[in-house]
């Protein structure tokens, strides 16, 4: 792993935002193809016991070869819009958080906007924070809703990691799954609802990277395997188990709250052991953090929103509940948002 000598950069705010907003609806799309640990043992030097003990993952989804990330986004958007009672034409913005966009150009958000018929919407892509893209996208959406001309936003978080992982690499091959999740955000009359505070941090590292495909190493001149994701598992563990508890604690403090006052923790579903370690460091029962990584794998940008979706659809996210969204991605970039449900 290569890391810069500079100290991590932190950004935080705690005054809350003056215009309240609500999660009006959520949605999720899971490709139908399921890949179990047992199936992976046929091509990788691993075992079901090894995968389960080190990751907590038992199965993951794979997107069909003829489909792309935008297709998952469109599929996830439909139930989210339906549950919110919002038509695509009413959307003021469509934000797509993904590090596996359909192609370098045009914008994946624009492809999704067009497919939905959201013709009046601003199209935005949030891409290079990897698994932390959703955190940054939610922060952007919260601030866009402060603009009087924007009242309804569709946020989509999706990744098709199966397209960028080496099928022969045990380190990355067992972790990742494909999925999309959607959140509809609307302005609200509930005073005090919405974003209460946030904490973001970053420190340059190449511990997780895709070397090829940019201006430094164009795909056409790359050697075999350079277009696949590479991951230093130890670096990820050390950074995640340190930075996530720090970031969550800081965001809660900035919101004027103790950790005990937060009802729900929607965390990046990278690895069950990381999630368990994070909750233990916070001194919070793990039951407050919904789990989807066991059956979906690491779904990148989508992970924390799959957890939010499961809680929202169960009716377990009550009016006035406070909750945290937190994640960490390649870079490294990490962040936590503290919110109150309308």
- Name the residues annotated as catalytic: 131, 268, 298
Closest CA to 66 of 160, 174, 141, 147: 160
**CA 281 to CA 147: how far, in whole Å?**
37
First to last CA, the chain: 43
**Count of residues for the chain?**
342
Q: Which residues sit opposite 94 in a β-bridge?
A: 123, 154
Which residue, chain included where needed, has tokens 């990897």?
130
Q: Which pairing describes strands 322-329 and 122-126: parallel, antiparallel, or unpaired?
A: unpaired
Q: Outline where DSSP puts E strands in the chain.
A: 9-13, 21-29, 33-36, 59-62, 93-97, 122-126, 152-160, 178-187, 194-202, 208-209, 230-231, 264-267, 322-329, 333-340
- How far from 187 is each of 113, 152, 184, 316, 339, CA to CA, in Å? 20, 7, 10, 21, 14
Q: Contact at 8 Å (CB) between 96 and 115?
A: no
Tokens representing residue 86 in the block: 């919002």
Tokens representing residue 199 in the block: 């904490």
Closest CA to 265 of 280, 296, 286: 286
Element (H, E) at 238: helix 233-254
Torsion of CA 297, 303, 304, 310, to 10 degrees: -80
């Amino acid at each position: 792993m290569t890391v810069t000598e500079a100290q991590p950069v932190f950004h935080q705010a705690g005054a809350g935002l003056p215009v309240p907003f609500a999660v009006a609806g959520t949605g999720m799309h899971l490709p139908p193809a399921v890949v179990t640990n047992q199936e992976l043992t046929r091509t990788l030097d691993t075992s079901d016991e090894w995968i389960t003990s080190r990751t907590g993952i038992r199965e993951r989804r794979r997107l069909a070869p003829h489909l792309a990330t935008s297709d998952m986004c469109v599929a996830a958007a439909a139930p989210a819009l339906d549950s919110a009672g919002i038509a695509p034409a009413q959307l003021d913005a469509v934000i797509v958080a993904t590090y596996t966009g359909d192609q370098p150009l045009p914008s994946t958000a624009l492809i999704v906007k067009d497919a939905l018929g959201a013709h009046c919407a601003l199209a935005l892509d949030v891409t290079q924070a990897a698994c932390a893209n959703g955190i940054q996208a939610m922060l952007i959406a919260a601030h866009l809703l402060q603009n009087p001309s924007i009242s309804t936003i569709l946020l989509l978080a999706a990744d098709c990691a199966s397209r960028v992982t080496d099928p022969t690499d045990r380190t990355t091959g067992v972790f990742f799954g494909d999925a999309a999740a959607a959140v509809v955000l609307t302005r609200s009359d509930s005073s005090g609802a919405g974003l209460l505070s946030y904490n973001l941090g970053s420190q340059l590292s190449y511990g997780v990277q895709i070397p090829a495909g940019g201006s430094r190493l164009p795909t056409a001149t790359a050697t075999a395997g350079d277009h696949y994701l590479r991951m230093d598992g130890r670096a990820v563990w050390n950074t995640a188990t340190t930075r996530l508890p720090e970031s969550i604690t800081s965001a809660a403090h900035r919101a004027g709250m103790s950790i005990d006052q937060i009802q729900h923790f929607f965390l990046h579903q990278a690895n069950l052991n990381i999630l368990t370690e994070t909750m233990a460091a916070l001194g919070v029962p793990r039951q407050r953090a919904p789990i989807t990584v066991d059956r979906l794998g690491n779904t990148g940008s989508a992970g924390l929103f799959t957890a939010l979706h499961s809680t929202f659809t169960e009716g377990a996210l009550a009016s006035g509940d406070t909750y945290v969204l937190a994640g960490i991605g390649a870079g490294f970039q990490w962040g936590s948002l503290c919110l109150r449900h309308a």
